Amino acid sequence: MLEPADGAASGDPDTIEFDHMPETDQAFENALAKARDGERLSVEDGVALITTGSNVAGIDHGRKERVLEAADRRRAEVVGEEVTFVANLNNNVTTACNTGCLFCNFKDTAANFESDSAVDHAGFTKTLDESRETVRDAVERGVSEVTSVSGLHPGLALDDEHHEILGSFDSPASDVNYKPPEQYETPPGTYVEQMRAMSVGDVHLHSMTPEEAYHAIRGTDRRYEEVYRRLADAGLDSAPGTAAEILVDEVRDVICPGKIDSGEWVAAMEGAIAAGLPVTATMMYGHVENERHRVMHLDRIRRLQDRTGAITEFVPLSFIHQQTPLYERGIVSGGASDAEDELLIAVSRLFLDNVDHIQSSWVKFGDEKGLKLLNCGADDFMGTILSEEITKRAGGSYGEFRSLADYVDMISAIGRTPVERSMDYEDRRRIDLDADPIGPVLGPRADGTPLLS
Ligand SMILES: C[S@@+](CC[C@H](N)C(=O)[O-])C[C@H]1O[C@@H](n2cnc3c(N)ncnc32)[C@H](O)[C@@H]1O
Ligand SMILES: Nc1c(NC[C@H](O)[C@H](O)[C@H](O)CO)[nH]c(=O)[nH]c1=O
Ligand SMILES: N[C@@H](Cc1ccc(O)cc1)C(=O)O
Ligand code: SF4
């Protein structure tokens, strides 16, 4: 485990000592030539591109533009001029979590959710009925996908048998982070029940991150594949590759020491894939990590994709810092700069030669930068989501939903073709601009708040 060096806690991220550093012997021009020729990039090439050459201090803006241009050209070759998005709903079931990730303000201390707690808190747990109704309402409006990620509620287990196993430990709370659901004001149901509740009609259910899968397996010798199969039988259609953060353990040790390590993350993803589920992959960057960590992460994803081919899209999540322990404790002084965001998207496109789609996340970047990134290598503009907790609670201010009309306006404005997609990009619907309505009506209420909150 890597300890921040003296001084880190007082606010200087440069004092965290890492084994992996962003210097490379590879020359920027050589790496760029390889990228332009479509050759597979090495980690050293990736570092040379993302730093615009480690022999120059800071980012060289002329070089950066050449990297962005190469990535934009590669995007056009791989996927053409269509910009996709999904009509989806975020339905986070519970914010109760004890994992303590230092970048996260989505979570609420789980003890506050117990029936005998006197602490007032802003957290929530939705009942199975509430989840089902929220999804049903969205499906009736034309949403095709529900994305559901939650805190690791100590009262959550895979199914009744898992409850029994967890309850039989001598000290369930400290041994396996378990407390009986009856102890909580609103019991969260089991994971299997949650999947059944959210699986309304034909809706595509995108849920169970590797970290949640670990929670659903804790205290047992079950395999990830078995657990994902059981969830798939209950209605799960694909898994989100969040919880990835940075897949280098010396970084995880600093920002999320309570989380599974990078090897376990890959094992959980392989389990989901073996169970027949498509997956996404993410990276959360712009905190304590350096450029080499970012490229090492891309390398991990590229190797997983070489083995499986199951990753539908890569989703860079730029760290939202304002209301997080990392920022409040002075461990970081902010998030990624615009130039870093652009280079991250571009190098993802060039390095991940086996992943077709790179997402520009409007909720993290905002519309203006989100659109710019569609000209730096990205080709997907996320989803309508209709409700957002993770970014909002961390201090992000880019809103909670996009209507189809907003999407059409923005994508047309940059001269690209708006296409509504399914999670796996197999179903695509080019928007007919003359149709009325152009698709599901998912706008805000009259007072500007999201339809679903
Ligand atoms: C909030 S967790 C919910 C699911 C589950 N608890 C887990 O960790 O997998 C989902 C993801 O949100 C992202 N996230 C959390 N806080 C963030 C922040 N401040 N800025 C950007 N992304 C964040 C992280 O990548 C995290 O893995
Ligand atoms: N980037 C973010 C996403 N992306 C999820 C997409 O909507 C995704 O493409 C879909 O779920 C799979 O089809 N979602 C968020 O809530 N926040 C993000 O920052
Ligand atoms: N919900 C995650 C993002 C996410 C969800 C599902 C995905 O497949 C990818 C990304 C966030 O807001 O940070
Ligand atoms: S990122 Fe997930 S596991 Fe970590 S504290 Fe937040 S909700 Fe809990």
Q: Pocket of ligand 1, candidates 95, 103, 252, 259: which has the most ligand atoms within 8 Å of its Cβ, to mutate? A: 103
Residue 450 is assigned to a structural domain of this protein = no
Closest residue by Cα to atom 8, ligand 3, is 240
The pLDDT tens digits for 206-225 are: 999 999 999 999 999 999 99
Q: Give the pLDDT confidence score for residue 14 in this predicted structure.
A: 58
Q: Give the pLDDT confidence score for residue 10 in this predicted structure.
A: 39
Cβ–Cβ contacts within 10 Å for residue 181, how many?
18
Ligand 1 in reach of 149 Cβ (< 6 A): yes
Distance from the CA of 164 to the center of ligand 1, in angstroms?
A: 29
Q: Give the pLDDT confidence score for residue 6 in this predicted structure.
A: 37
Residue 362 is assigned to a structural domain of this protein = yes
Side-chain half-sphere exposure of 119, counting CA atoms within 13 A: 11
Phi, psi of 22 (to 5 degrees): -85, 15
Distance from the CA of 147 to the center of ligand 1, in angstroms?
A: 13
Q: Do residues 130 and 119 touch, judged by C-beta distance below 8 A? A: no
Ligand 4 in reach of 266 Cβ (< 6 A): no
Residue 419 is assigned to a structural domain of this protein = yes
Ligand 2 in reach of 283 Cβ (< 6 A): no
Residue 213 is assigned to a structural domain of this protein = yes
Residue 46 is assigned to a structural domain of this protein = no
CB-based contacts of 423, cutoff 8 Å, min separation 6: 86, 88, 144, 145, 204, 206, 237, 238, 278, 312
Residue 50 is assigned to a structural domain of this protein = no
Q: Which residues of 337-370 are buried (b: 16+ CB within 10 A; e: fewer)?
A: eeebbbbbbbbbbbbbbebbbbbbbbbbbeeebb
What are the tokens at 215? 């929670």
Q: Give the pLDDT confidence score for residue 314 in this predicted structure.
A: 99
Integer Cα distance of 227 and 205 in angstroms = 16
Q: Give the pLDDT confidence score for residue 443 in this predicted structure.
A: 52
Instruction: Report the atom number in ligand 2 closest to the C-alpha of 421.
Output: 13
Distance from the CA of 148 to the center of ligand 4, in angstroms?
A: 13
Q: Cα 422 vs. chain centroid, distance in angstroms?
A: 17
CATH of the domain at 156: 3.20.20.70
Of residues 212, 226, 216, 225, the one with CA closest to residue 148: 212
Cβ–Cβ contacts within 10 Å for residue 116, how many?
7
Closest residue by Cα to atom 26, ligand 1, is 243
Ligand 2 in reach of 145 Cβ (< 6 A): yes
Whether the CA torsion 317, 20, 268, 94 is positive or negative: it is negative
Closest residue by Cα to atom 9, ligand 3, is 240
Q: Give the pLDDT confidence score for residue 331 in this predicted structure.
A: 97
Integer Cα distance of 142 and 313 in angstroms = 23
Side-chain half-sphere exposure of 260, counting CA atoms within 13 A: 22
ipTM of this complex prediction, to 2 decimal places: 0.98
Cβ–Cβ contacts within 10 Å for residue 49, how many?
30
Give ligand 3 pocket residues (Cβ under 6 A): 147, 149, 240, 242, 280, 282, 315, 317, 390-391
Residue 240 is assigned to a structural domain of this protein = yes
Ligand 4 in reach of 106 Cβ (< 6 A): yes
Residue 51 is assigned to a structural domain of this protein = no
pTM for the full predicted model? 0.95
Distance from the CA of 243 to the center of ligand 1, in angstroms?
A: 6
Q: Pocket of ligand 1, candidates 90, 98, 106, 211: which has the most ligand atoms within 8 Å of its Cβ, to mutate? A: 106
Q: Do residues 69 and 36 touch, judged by C-beta distance below 8 A? A: no
Integer Cα distance of 330 and 364 in angstroms = 21
* Residues of the chain scoring pLDDT < 50: 1-12, 444-448, 450, 452-453
Beta strands in 161-310 (DSSP E): 204-207, 279-285
Integer Cα distance of 271 and 241 in angstroms = 12
Radius of gyration of the chain (CA): 22
* Domain interval for residue 112: 79-430
Q: Give the pLDDT confidence score for residue 4 in this predicted structure.
A: 41
Q: Residue holding tokens 């073996």? A: 274
Q: Give the pLDDT confidence score for residue 297 in this predicted structure.
A: 99
CA distances from 179 to 113, 172, 258 (A): 11, 7, 18
Look at the chain and report how many structural domains it folds into: 1
Closest residue by Cα to atom 5, ligand 2, is 382
Q: Is 7 left (phi over 0), alpha (psi -120 to 50) or beta?
A: left
